[in-house]
Amino acid sequence: MRQTDRTILVTGATGQQGGAAAAALLADGWQVRALVREPAAPAAVALAAAGAQLAVGNLDDRASVDAAMRGAHGVYSVQPADEHEARRGRAVADAAAAAGVAHLVYMSTGGAERQSRVRALAKWEIEEHIRAIGVPATILRPAGFMEDVVSQRFGLHTGRFATAVDPGVRFQLIAVRDIGAFAALAFGSPTDYLGRAVEIAGDALTPGEIAAALSRAAGRDIPYAQVPMDVLREHSPGAATVFEWVNREYYTTDLAALGAAHPALTTFDTWLATDGKGRLATLFG
């Protein structure tokens, strides 16, 4: 059976990761069925215009998920990181197993296993559930999004790159479009990806290197400012736990192997010159 005859159900298709996956799968010739709450929403209308079939439903309605999976070859699974995440992620995996899909691709997070040792992590719970029920699956663990760096989250609106990451730590980053590309690779090359958990990133830079790249792209000095951990803990104890883990042990990715699998893998400099250019212009004018 050709790819053009096979359907992949994409959850979260109107969001960043799901949208990137839908675009990459359509580009590779798959039939894409997008699970959407509101088919008249602009993002859903754009998906339909790009060639996706819309399946109306939501992750809290198992009957709608079962209906959307009917006849699907594969399922791309991503959930919002909220209090319902673990339940929804398990439900998608259960539905995929019940539907007999050939391949579930689940979007976890970078260093999930190590992170789970220091904090409760819904994505790790979902990973463990997928392995326990035995559904044919690939787990992709994306690094921090390049898109998030150029945002108020890291204080760029104040003219600084502010983070609690220590100066010597190489922070793993990935462009959202490359998340979609790796999902398409997993579905297209199941013998290479089924049964694996793969850490994916496009670059690994120290905070100083990130600040220097931002400065070059913006044409202005954007210094790295380290946020004291006690200050971060006062405002967000959960975030402090994560950054303490990052500074203490973190994790690495095999960028050479990832680049060999996906030669168009995006570095941070490349992202800043392309997708990030408009974001910087919005911040700095």
Domain boundaries, the chain: 3-142+175-201+254-262
Residue 13's pLDDT is what?
96
Q: What is the pLDDT of residues 130-176, one digit of tens each?
A: 999 999 999 999 999 999 999 888 999 899 999 999 999 999 999 99
Residue 108's pLDDT is what?
98
Edge-first strand order for the sheet with 203-205 is 144-145, 171-174, 203-205
Give the separation between CA 220 and CA 224, rounded to whole angstroms.
Answer: 13
CB 129 within 8 A of CB 93: yes
Give the separation between CA 18 and CA 212, rounded to whole angstroms.
Answer: 31
Per-chain mean pLDDT for the chain: 95
260 Cα distance to chain centroid: 20
Residue 273's pLDDT is what?
97
Average pLDDT over residues 245-252: 93
Residue 177's pLDDT is what?
97
Average pLDDT over residues 91-110: 98
Residue 153's pLDDT is what?
86
Residue 2's pLDDT is what?
59
Q: Is 80 exceeded by the pLDDT of residue 285? A: no
Q: What is the pLDDT of residues 9-36, one digit of tens each?
A: 999 999 999 999 999 999 999 999 999 9
Give the separation between CA 191 and CA 131, rounded to whole angstroms.
Answer: 17
Give the separation between CA 154 and CA 141, rounded to whole angstroms.
Answer: 22
CB 22 within 8 A of CB 52: yes
Percent of the chain at pLDDT exceeding 90: 94
In which band, very low, low, confident or very high, does the pLDDT at 284 lie, cut at 50, 70 and 90? confident
Residue 151's pLDDT is what?
85
Tell me the CATH number for domain 3-142+175-201+254-262. 3.40.50.720
CB environment 82-109: b (16+ within 10 A), e (fewer): eeebbebbbbbbbbbbebebebbbbbbb
